[in-house]
């Protein structure tokens, strides 16, 4: 039989887990996202201060990559269009980072306990990656279109993007969404910046 103390601890644990990982009700509105997930705002703000990556671009990349699903994975390929087969890549979590690049991020930042299923680590990864893109490819952090192409294709394949109509289309969507997020965020940034006592 579970004691009352254990029951309370279990309830609190499940509540906090749900608060951390559940998908926001409205992923198309930056103010709604942060109103529901205030701690996410604090994490994104910290990334902006640390790496320079604007909050609206962080959100737009996650929106495109996983739509804020912490357990997102690429759909499985199918043999003969019927039999489920392997996934096309090791992409996972909010940022859809692949294993190899995620390990590089952990090694370079010292964030060895980072997990792709945690928002805090995912936005820090995006900040790290976009900042390296700025250094390697000389792409401004404010350029959502080109930053996303580098994010999707990788630094080495970026130079070939003009031949890839699909990725250009995706990057245009990210750019458009980032502008929407930015416009929305202007309306609520002051209230979010005020001190707010929260548990999660």
Does residue 20 belong to any structural domain of this protein?
no
Q: Which pLDDT band, with edges at 50, 70 and 90, does 21 fall under?
A: low
Give tens-digit pLDDT for 95-112.
Answer: 999 999 999 999 999 999
CATH code at position 89: 1.10.530.10
Instruction: Give me the phi and psi of 79, to 5 degrees please.
Output: -85, 130
Does residue 4 belong to any structural domain of this protein?
no
The rounded distance, in Å, linking the Cα atoms of 27 and 35 is 11
Does residue 91 belong to any structural domain of this protein?
yes
Residue 84 pLDDT more than 90? no
Does residue 99 belong to any structural domain of this protein?
yes
Mean pLDDT of the chain: 86
Does residue 200 belong to any structural domain of this protein?
no
Domain that holds residue 175: 25-193
Does residue 15 belong to any structural domain of this protein?
no
Total structural domains within the chain = 1
Does residue 103 belong to any structural domain of this protein?
yes
For the chain, percent of residues with pLDDT exceeding 90: 74
Question: In the predicted model, what is the mean pLDDT of residues 152-162?
Answer: 96
């Amino acid at each position: 039989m579970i004691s009352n103390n254990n029951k309370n601890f279990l309830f609190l644990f499940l509540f906090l887990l749900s608060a951390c990982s559940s998908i926001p009700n409205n992923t198309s509105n930056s103010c709604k996202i942060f109103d529901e997930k205030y701690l996410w705002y604090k994490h994104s703000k910290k990334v902006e201060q640390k790496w320079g990556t604007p909050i609206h671009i962080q959100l737009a990349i996650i929106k495109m990559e996983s739509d804020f699903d912490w357990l997102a994975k690429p759909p499985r390929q199918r043999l003969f269009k019927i039999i489920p087969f392997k996934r096309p890549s090791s992409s996972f979590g909010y940022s859809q980072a692949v294993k190899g690049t995620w390990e590089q991020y952990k090694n370079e930042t010292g964030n060895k306990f980072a997990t792709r299923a945690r928002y805090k680590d995912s936005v820090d990864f995006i900040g790290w990656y976009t900042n390296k893109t700025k250094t390697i490819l000389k792409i401004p952090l404010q350029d959502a279109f080109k930053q996303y192409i580098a994010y999707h294709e990788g630094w080495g394949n970026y130079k070939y993007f003009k031949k890839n109509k699909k990725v250009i289309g995706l990057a245009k969507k990210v750019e458009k969404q980032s502008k929407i997020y930015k416009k929305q965020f202007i309306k609520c940034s002051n209230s979010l910046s005020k001190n707010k006592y929260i548990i999660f």
